Amino acid sequence: MKKIEAYIKPFRSTAVREALLGAGVRYISIHEVQETGHEKHQELYRGNKYDVDYTPLAVLTMIVDDELVDNLVDVIRGHARTGNDGDGKIVIVPVEKIYSVDLADHPPA
């Protein structure tokens, strides 16, 4: 099994979520984060430009079977891409075990 984390533009998260559910993903955790790094950019708010050193991102996290990973990466790329720099990134991490919190004396899922 693998954990996929997709860091994408927040306004693309609904389209990506719907496409992933349509591609067979059963559960997706979605949260918004702020990424900071070496690049500053300007944003426009009420007609004024402001320098900001963070970028808002949506993070979609899911645990999937290994054989789904390549297709899901294609789905994410196809629905998250805007054609501009900074569309995001996709991280794939191996999952060794998953334990259910409420079933402490049962084997891993």
The structural domains of the chain, with segments of one domain joined by +, span: 2-94
Query: Which residues share a beta bridge with 109?
Result: none
Identify the band that residue 100 occupies on the pLDDT scale cut at 50, 70 and 90: confident
Q: What confidence score (pLDDT) does residue 54 get? A: 82
User: What is d(CA 17, CA 70) in angstroms, rounded to the nearest whole number?
Assistant: 16
Res. 109: pLDDT tops 60: no
Query: Which residues share a beta bridge with 75?
Result: none
Residue with tokens 């501009």: 84
Look up the pTM and report it: 0.82
Q: What confidence score (pLDDT) does residue 7 get? A: 97
Q: What confidence score (pLDDT) does residue 85 get? A: 78
Q: How far is CA 103 from CA 1, 2, 64, in A?
A: 20, 22, 21
- 28-86: per-residue pLDDT in tens? 999 999 888 766 777 778 888 888 788 889 999 999 999 999 999 999 999 999 988 78
What CATH number is given for 2-94 in this structure?
Answer: 3.30.70.120
Element (H, E) at 76: helix 69-80
Res. 9: pLDDT tops 90: yes
